[in-house]
Chains A and B, each alone.
Chain A
Amino acid sequence: DAKTTQPNSMESNEEEPVHLPCNHSTISGTDYIHWYRQLPSQGPEYVIHGLTSNVNNRMASLAIAEDRKSSTLILHRATLRDAAVYYCIPRMDSSYKLIFGSGTRLLVRP
């Protein structure tokens, strides 16, 4: 399983963009990059995933470096509800395993 490095915590102001980085330098060619988040006192929820190209959905955007050794989750306008722990997870295509690291705790200031 590829190892990940994420900042322990980050802070943002409400309604400003947030860029959450993840380093995954040992990623293999078949690993997709998944992002999950965990709101306080809840189970994790899926955010987004991608392989090589940048991806967008209603929750966020995912920017993947050309060498795939790092990626950035982008929240375009942070809200108070986005305060959570964000996990970056490399995952082999069709793999049943989902292995969590320690994640980044995002604090959003009003």
Chain B
Amino acid sequence: NAGVTQTPKFRVLKTGQSMTLLCAQDMNHEYMYWYRQDPGMGLRLIHYSVGEGTTAKGEVPDGYNVSRLKKQNFLLGLESAAPSQTSVYFCASSYPGTGGLPEAFFGQGTRLTVV
């Protein structure tokens, strides 16, 4: 069971460079999320998607773009990286449901450093 897989696991970027983080899930989940976690802090929601072809802004969307062209993939893009975007990025997925569900499943994270 792969679950939620993030690529790459580590990356160092220079200021102004661009990159795309890939999140893939094999659980047929409708919902997908991107979070960032700065040292000693909780997770903050960047963008999310409630289905293929749809995306929405979270708490801290500035400087990021996302795309959900396929149900199983959710891409996070940094067009012009800044040192303030140095963080650990987590992807998550979940399915719709009631009764207090859905439980979200998280990837192992991508550690990004912008110098």
Asked whether A11 is an interface residue with its Cβ less than 8 Å from the other chain, the reply is: no
How far in angstroms is the closest Cβ of chain A from B97?
Answer: 7
Residue A44 CB within 8 A of the other chain = yes
Q: Is B96 an interface residue (CB 8 A)?
A: yes
Size range of the chain A interface in the assembly: 20 to 34
Would you call B99 an interface residue if the criterion is a C-beta within 8 Å of the partner chain's C-beta atoms?
yes
Once bound together, how far apart are the Cα atoms of A85 and B97, in whole Å?
26
A103 to B, closest residue via Cβ? B42
Interface residues of A in 59-104 (CB under 8 A from B): 85, 87, 91, 93-94, 96-103
- Please determine whether B100 and A51 come into contact, CB atoms closer than 8 angstroms: yes
Interface SS majority for chain A: loop
- Report which residue of B35, B43, B50, B99 has the largest number of chain A beta carbons within 10 angstroms of its beta carbon: B43
Q: Which residues of B contact A36 (CB under 8 A)?
A: 104
User: Which B61-103 residues sit within 8 Å CB-CB of chain A?
Assistant: 90, 92, 94, 96-100, 103
Chain B residues near A44: list those with CB within 8 A: 43, 90, 92, 104, 106
A: residues with CB less than 8 A from B are: 32, 34, 36, 41-46, 49-51, 85, 87, 91, 93-94, 96-103
What 19 new A-B contacts, CB under 8 Å, besides A93-B100, A98-B92, A98-B104?
A32-B100, A42-B108, A46-B103, A46-B104, A46-B105, A50-B100, A51-B100, A85-B42, A96-B48, A96-B50, A96-B94, A96-B96, A97-B48, A98-B33, A98-B94, A100-B35, A100-B42, A100-B45, A102-B41
Closest 4 CB pairs of A and B: A43-B106, A32-B100, A100-B43, A100-B42
Jot down 16 A-B pairs with beta carbons below 8 A, ordered by A: A34-B100, A36-B104, A42-B108, A42-B109, A43-B107, A43-B108, A43-B109, A44-B43, A49-B100, A94-B98, A96-B48, A97-B45, A97-B48, A98-B45, A99-B45, A103-B42
